[in-house]
Chain A
Amino acid sequence: MNIFDVSFFAENFVALCRGIPLTLQLTLLSVTSGAVFAIVLASFRLSGNQVLDGLARGYIFVFRGTPLLVQLYIIYYGLSQFPELRKSFAWPFLREAYWCASLALCLNTAAYSAEIIRGGVIAVPLGQIEAAKAYGMGGLTLLRRIIAPQAFRLMLPAYSNELILVVKSTALASTITMMEVTGIAAKLISATYRPVEIFIAAGAIYLLLNFSITRLLRLLEYRLSRDRRPHQAATGEHA
């Protein structure tokens, strides 16, 4: 037997690709719901209201300070101990590993993303907001037209990082029976006892996924930073 069997690697690479849709589903579901929750948390943090700020601070403290694996286990193994929950409308969801994994990932990424959003918002220069106020903008118009677009651009590099972490974190779902890329890898290894090729194949898949994500985000960043590139007007004039 070779140290590295290329045909075995290729064969298993294809098998692992069947886990990609689930990996992507878990990512997409947790990132979108996590972003919505993060916006709520960030607005609590920025509200100036001590109670709301305290609530969000506490939440972020707990979910950033404890391992995602522990959070996942508490949701998947722990919640079923509560009879009230088992009788509630949420149970059809919470007894499924799929929803438990999505929920844990969502709650976890929301804590990190909230701080990223808050960082973006407070990095918007005061003069930009003051000018908007002086021109009669306030409330939602100010948020939608001036603060949000500028904050979004400022937080994008940090948020790209968070997206990559979420993609990799989906691997933990394998510990609660999910057959995503890592789950399939573990199953194949227990059948073949050949971890090297299989884990390298799994790693390569995550690398490819994250490569595409970083490319997409870099494109977005490029499109949003026209003002930071030299200006070429239709006349060909350089400013």
Chain B
Amino acid sequence: MTIQTCIPAVEIARLEKSYGSLKVLHDISLKAEQGEVISILGASGSGKSTLLRCVNMLEVPNAGSVSIFGEEYKLEQRVDQAARVTDRHQLQRLRSQATMVFQSFNLWSHLTILENLIEAPVHVQHRNRKVCIAEAEALLERVGIADKRNAYPSHLSGGQQQRAAIARALAMHPRIMLFDEPTSALDPELVAEVLKVMKDLAAEGRTMLVVTHEMSFARNVSSRVVFLHKGYIEEDGTPAEVFSHPRSERFRQFISKHAH
């Protein structure tokens, strides 16, 4: 146990990412200890979503490394060429340990909610179908949409879809959860129901990386706040530190703009 807690859940070292000649992330190093809930803030275009997508290699960094519980993604990074992942099995294994919740939910439209939850556990993790169904039902109960098990995603409201998507992520037994602006596509009155589920997860001691615009979540739920500006980390600390004594002028402006 003591050895385990020494290994960071996510370790990003000297990461760089560019699209063509446009560099969107500069020399990013970030360590998420186990159980940390990190809110990643930043204006649009600051690179925060790209950074999160580098954690499960939906975007492959051009330089630097990313490790999940001490295991580094095997990458081939060449000058002037697209970087790529070289070990598909490792990629699939690490991805199922760090599951992602998307801004636009991305539930599979041709499957029912229950089928969405058991899809990857059964077909990627090759776990027993019956066990997965029982677990999925419990998860749907937990996020409050047990009655929607046989509905299709299009039949659900945005808030319900996002809760289903969180349940889908949980069904993988992930050690890390990545949230990419999970409430940005929701109507204001539906945001609370999703934030409540996320708050419960944070309280359980799950490692979470959350790209968000929800200041209340960053301030009250997360254990750490990271602020990105133009591809650089400009602020990094506990919510108490960064919100009361921001070191960066841009973060100060960012807070006042989002303070309502």
Contacts and interface: CB of A to CB of B under 8 A. Distances in A.
A68 interface: no
Interface in A117-168: 125, 127-128, 130-139, 141, 145-146, 149-150, 153
Interface stretch (A85-93, A172-180, A208-216, A229-237): A229-237
Contacts of A149: 110
Interface string B86-129: 00100111011001101010111110000000011001110000
Nearest to A153: B110
Contact of A145 (B102, B123, B150): B123
B147 A130 contact: no
A226 B152 contact: yes
A14 interface: no
B156 interface: yes
B109 A231 contact: no
B43 interface: no
Contact of B124 (A135, A226, A231): A135
B148 interface: yes
Contacts, number: 84
B159 interface: no
B220 to A, nearest CB: 27
B96 A135 contact: yes
A131 B106 contact: yes
Residue of A132, A134, A153 ringed by the most chain B CB atoms within 10 A:
A134
Contacts of B91: 136, 138
B47 interface: no
A53 B56 CA distance: 30
B109 A135 contact: no
B165 to A, nearest CB: 8
Nearest to A127: B106
B58 A134 contact: yes
Contacts of B107: 131
B155 interface: yes
Interface in B217-257: none
Interface string B159-170: 000000000100
Interface of A: 125, 127-128, 130-139, 141, 145-146, 149-150, 153, 224, 226-228, 230-231, 233-235, 237, 239
Q: Which 4 A-B pairs have the closest CB atoms?
A: A227-B152, A231-B155, A131-B106, A239-B155
9 contacts: A128-B108, A132-B108, A134-B102, A137-B120, A137-B124, A141-B123, A145-B123, A228-B154, A233-B150
